[in-house]
Structure formats: C-alpha cells, structure tokens
Amino acid sequence: MNLFIDYQTKILKLLKKLESKEIIKIPKKINSITIELPPKNQEAHISCNAAMLLAKENNQKPIEVAKILVKHFTKDFKEFNSVEIAGPGFLNISFNQKFWKNYLNQVIKLNTKYGSNKLKKKKYNIEFVSANPTGPLHVGHCRGAVLGDTLANIFTFNGNNVTKEYYVNDYGGQIKIFVNSVYYRILEIIKNEPFPSNLELYPGDYIIDIAKEVIKSKSIKDFSNLKKIFNLLSKKSISLSMKIIENNLKMLGIKHDNFVYESNLVKNNLVNNVIKKLKVKNYVYNGKLDVPKGEQTKEWKQRDQLLFRSSLFGDDTDRPLQKIDGSWTYFAGDMAYHSNKISRKFDILINILGADHAGYTKRIISVTKAISNNKVDLICKVSQLVKLFKNGEPFKMSKRKGDYITIEDLINEVGADATRFIMLNRSNDVEFDFDFKKVTEKSKDNPVFYVQYAYARINSVFRSLKVNLKSNLKINNEKYLLNNHELEILKKIAEWPKCINLSLSKLEPHRIPFYLYELATLFHSYWTLGNVNKEYRFINEEKNLTRLALLQAVSIVIKNGMTILGVSTPEKM
C-alpha cells in the first residue's frame, strides 16, 4: 500500500483511456507524471503534475489541460472530494472522509507490515564494520555500523533476503603489530619484562586484557620463542579481539550473520585462483606504476610488481596486488573475498566504507566488474567522517597511542537508542561533528526522546481507557468526521510508505528519523490542543473509535519506524 504509487498507476490508466478516446495525447515521458505531496500551505492531500507534462504534446497551456483533467478526475474517482488547479497547473486533490477511514482501517490491518513496499524480492549482501580485529571498536566505527545495520533492516522490512557480513582482516601488517603487542604484554605479566617502547606496538589497556585471557586459557605453555608460537598466539588473540568487537556491536543491537576471514581466503588459495583467472583475461599483469604526482619522490622506488588493470574500469590507476616481500596486499585479499561474494549469487552487493577508505571504492568496484564480466554491481556507500570534539576542541583518536573513545564508552554515557538515532539523523555523506561532551549533556532533549514520548503518550491513553493497543481497532460506518488536524496526521501517515521506499531505493536511512520526528510533532501539537479545548481530547464523551484508530495508526508507524532504526519504544517513560 503506497498512496503515491497507487494513484500514479490509477491516473496513468485514466490518461491512457482518455488517449484512446482521443481526448488527450500522451507524451513519451509518461513516467515523469507523478503524485507529489502538496506544499505545506496547501490543504490538498495529494497533487499531480500531469497537466504540465501534457501541455506541450497537446499544444495547450497547462491550465487548459488541467481543466480537462479536472472534469475526468472528478467523474472517475468517486473518492476524490475535490480537484483544484493550483500554481502553474498542479492538480490538487483531496480525498473524502470515507476514503480516509478506510485507509486507517487498512493501516491497522497491515500493522507491522504497514510501510513495506511490494517489490520484487531480492537477495542482498551487505558488508559493514569490517574493522581490523586488533581491539575494541571506537566511535568512528559506530556510524558505519549503524548505517549498515539499519539499511539491512530496511531491506528485511521490505521482504528481501539479507546477509549481514563482516570481513575479518586477519592477515597483514597490522595483525603482526597486534600479535607482537599481546606477546610483549604476556612477557610483562609472566616474566616481569618491561613493555618495549622502541618497537611499533599498540599501547592500549585492552591488549593487557587479551594477554591475561591468553595466559588464562593455558593453550600456550612456553612463551620463550615468539616465532614458534606466532600462529597459535595470533589465532587466539584475534578470536579474543573478535569477541570484544562482537560484544561492542551487540551493545548497539547489531549482529552479523556471517564472518569471512581473510586468512581463510589465503589459505584456501582463493587469492591465487582469482589472480590466475584474471591473468587469463589479461586484467592482471606485471608492470610498473607511475610515481603519483605531488608525491615526494625521495621514498618512491619504481619496481616491477603484480598489478590489476583497474584503470580499464574507471579507476585512476592500476593497483598492486603483491607487497615487496611477496605477501598479498589488502586489495588482493579483498579481490578474492569479492569473487567469493559473487559466487554466492546475490542480486545486490553493498559495502559500507568509512570516509578514509573512499579512495578505495573505484578499485573494488572495478574488480567486481572484472570478475563478474560486468554482470554484478557493487554499491559502495561511504559514511563520512565523524569529527570528534571534546569540550569544543577537536579530538584526534589514535589506536597507536591507545587514546580513543570506544563504542562502549559512548553507549554507557548516551545509551544505544540515542546513539543510533543521532548517527542516523543526518545524511551519511555529510560530515558530522560529534561533541562527546555536548551529546551527553544534551541527551535529554535529544530527538529520540521526543519520538519515544509520543509513543508513550499514546500508550497512556490506551491504558486509561483500558483498551489493548495491540489488538486492532476497526472503524465501521461511524458518523464522526475527521477534523483538519486529524487529516494532517493521516496525510503524514500516508506518507510513510513513500519514506520507506525512498530510503530503500536511495539507501538513505536518515529520512526515517526525520519523518518520525515530523509525525511526532503533528501528534504532540494535536495533543496540546486538547489541553485548551476539550473537544480535541482523545478521551471524550463521544467515545469515537475513529480518533482512537488514528492514534493506533500513529503508534504503529512509530513502532515500525523505530524498529527499523533499532531504537526501542518504551510504553512508559
């Protein structure tokens, strides 16, 4: 059920009928004829741009075409209360009471499914977070995590099959540093050897915790030779680190369906295989890279290396696959990973990346095209930077210095609900200044509470009336007429499926918190009217069901929306 799409279809059908009767001519750009929301100063419920788009083809002014359409619209659609011509030729349409009451009944009947769009089912794979398994997640990871999870919720809500995936980068240089760090912490604990300051190591306290856990597990007895135990220690440390990360995600209400380990891809020869395949297609070759312009040339030594021809697919340059020591680059592993994704036959692949990896999107999209012969599209969503501030001062986080705010810190201070709502309450490709102090101070007038409060107020009405909010109401021929305030709320409710549809097709979840805020505003505003004028109270002598049904519908939409956002809806606050 989507008012805007339904009436687009119905009106197009009518236009075709009119064409067959030679009343009007229809231009080719027929799909641009849409149903829109009238501007806020208009009382109309929906608005149609048909007359303006038909004008040229019919050699008439938009207003003249509009006059013809008004005649046929009112004749064909009994549910239209009025059709008026406005502005340059918009048709402003209002529905009658019967239509809206019926609409309310349908919303309530659909309940948890209201807002979901009937589209072709698709199989989605969405990869997000994928942070290095070298320690707890920090605030910077949070935005991408929440974005990915919420997108996944939107896909699921619309009836799709979704796999939430985490790519564990457990192969490469950072891991060595991490395992070394754990090793020296272990020596510090059991042999009292001072933690070296001359080596490149992670100083964070969580390394000590991991070291303690390794000792406790007793799976390694002799720590005298790092080389001998490296593989085992690495496996152990990474698994402990992943436990921390999964726990962090759990605090945000996030649970991945699948974890893919880079080391497994290497071990199972997947990297080799992909490179072999691409060599055959001549997409992988041995060659030299040009020195990047503007780079200091001192450090740069041109050398022969294994390269992927990503420049063929729109990337700026070809990309290296092998390091100087012969081991694979991160990109080579990711290539194998994406080949693996493709082989699992998803309809849509999505990667959520942090802003600092934005330069990476072109090459990974290239590789997906190369492997799938241009058949599979990978969509990369970049979640822009979260700039951290502490007391108004920019705050740089560094894993190396062990100086950063973890997700755990954040949630303990602000709570998961507010964290998710704040992170989602802006477009993901806009930078986001996050003042830790300010957010914790302001948590009380955070928009999330405003929306939750509306839900709690509705619950309070149903509690006082001793009516179960969870059992569906139904309006039968009640004489009560919805007033303008109520129609405003209903209009907003009717907008919900459109909001979901846009969030889905544009992959922009931020529309949902904005929408919910607006719905809550209309509700609170109406509620306050009841303080002044008893006519507007939900609990009144008339005991009309329609008004109560409207309340129930609002609660349904808030509930559905908040569930998608991963934010709770308490019945009392």
123-127 and 348-354: which strand pairing?
parallel
Q: Work out whether 305 is an interface residue with RNA (CB under 7 A).
A: yes
Q: What would the x/- binding string for RNA be over residues 86 to 115, using CB under 7 A? A: xxx-x-x-----------------------
Compute the C-alpha angle 508/512/515, nearest 5°: 130
Judged by CB under 7 A, the residue of 231, 258, 268, 302 near RNA is 302
State both tokens at 245.
Answer: 């990360």
Q: Which is nearer to RNA, 187 or 352 (CB)?
A: 352
Which part of the chain contacts RNA (CB under 7 A), choosing from 109-117, 232-240, 263-271, 358-366?
A: 358-366
Q: Which is nearer to RNA, 162 or 519 (CB)?
A: 519
Instruction: Tell me the C-alpha distance between 261 and 165, whole Å.
Output: 11
Find the binding residues for RNA in span 221-280 (CB under 7 A): none
Q: What is the DSSP letter of 259?
A: E
Find the binding residues for RNA in span 362-421 (CB under 7 A): 362, 382, 384-385, 389, 392
Q: What would the x/- binding string for RNA be over residues 46 to 65, using CB under 7 A? A: -x-x--xx--x---------
Find the binding residues for RNA in span 312-351 (CB under 7 A): 316-317, 320, 323-325, 329-331
Q: Which is nearer to RNA, 121 or 442 (CB)?
A: 442
Q: What would the x/- binding string for RNA be over residues 138 to 177, using CB under 7 A? A: -------------------------------x--xxx---
Which part of the chain contacts RNA (CB under 7 A), choosing from 146-154, 245-253, 337-345, 525-533?
A: 525-533
Q: Residue 232: left (phi > 0), alpha (psi -120 to 50), or beta?
A: alpha
Q: Which is nearer to RNA, 19 or 431 (CB)?
A: 431
Q: Which of 154, 173, 174 is closest to 162 using CA atoms?
A: 154
Beta-strand (E) ranges in 321-365?
348-354
Q: Work out whether 544 is an interface residue with RNA (CB under 7 A).
A: no
Q: Residue 61: left (phi > 0), alpha (psi -120 to 50), or beta?
A: beta
Do residues 162 and 124 make contact, with C-beta atoms less than 8 angstroms apart? yes
Judged by CB under 7 A, the residue of 23, 26, 42, 372 near RNA is 42
The DSSP code sequence of 94-132 is EE-HHHHHHHHHHHHHHGGGTT-------EEEEE-----
Instruction: Tell me the C-alpha distance between 148 and 423, whole Å.
Output: 12
Q: Which is nearer to RNA, 21 or 444 (CB)?
A: 444
Instruction: Tell me the C-alpha distance between 99 and 3, whole Å.
Output: 11
Which part of the chain contacts RNA (CB under 7 A), choosing from 96-104, 241-249, 295-303, 339-347?
A: 295-303
Which part of the chain contacts RNA (CB under 7 A), choosing from 29-37, 63-71, 183-191, 371-379?
A: 29-37
Find the binding residues for RNA in span 445-504 (CB under 7 A): 445, 447, 449-450, 453, 456-457, 459-461, 464, 498, 502
Long-range contacts of 465-469, Cβ-Cβ distance < 8 Å, separation of 24 or more: 465/539, 465/548, 467/548, 469/552, 469/555
Q: What distance lies between CA 343 and its chain's CA centroid? A: 25
Judged by CB under 7 A, the residue of 510, 512, 550, 553 near RNA is 510
Judged by CB under 7 A, the residue of 293, 375, 466, 479 near RNA is 293
